[in-house]
Amino acid sequence: MAMDAQTLARACADAMWADDKASAALGMQIESISPGEAVLSMTVRDDMVNGHAICHGGFIFTLADSAFAFACNSDNHSAVASGARIDFLAPGHLGDQLTARARQLTQGRRTGVYDVEVSNQDGRRIAVFRGNSHRLGGQLVNETTGESVL
């Protein structure tokens, strides 16, 4: 018997997280996962601050991109980014807890569009990100057992 959509989304996230050394190295955490959505967080560390004493935009982009990746793979269709853009709205500062909330806008047979909002611990919007996904074919987990097939 196949898993329900929420259980499947969690199994997909677990399978991806097991080998996501980049997100783990930056101290990211998965706060929640559901079909077509993901919430990840990260604390701005000293080694993430640039010469302007604010969080380097590349780290903010990476947090948003990771949330996007978990959202667009949550339905067990292996997918990657085919493009993305980000608009920085406010700076992140040393010690800030940044949270990226990704949600699916549309998902076709091969391509999808996802929006991610990055905010700080006070709810201030730091950035908005739009990602385009492309399905590669294949699955992340066995839909009956939940075991990774990656």
- The residue to which tokens 């406010």 are assigned: 90
Q: What is the pLDDT of residue 150?
A: 85
Write out pLDDT tens, residues 93-132.
999 999 999 999 999 999 999 999 999 999 999 999 999 9
Write out pLDDT tens, residues 102-113.
999 999 999 999
Write out pLDDT tens, residues 4-33.
999 999 999 999 999 999 999 999 999 999
- The half-sphere exposure of 21 on its side-chain side, counting CA atoms within 13 A, is 0
Please report, for residues 12, 51, 128, 147, the alpha-carbon distance to residue 68 in angstroms, rounded to integers and kept in the order given: 13, 28, 12, 22
H-run or E-run covering 125: strand 125-135
Q: What is the pLDDT of residue 122?
A: 98
pTM of the model: 0.96
Tokens of 92: 């992140």
The share of the chain scoring above pLDDT 70, in percent, equals 100
Measured distance CA(107)–CA(88) in Å, rounded: 25
Which contacts qualify for 119-124: CB closer than 8 Å, 24 or more apart?
120/90, 120/92, 120/93, 120/96, 121/96, 121/97, 124/90
Residue (of 55, 71, 54, 74) closest to 115 by Cα position: 71
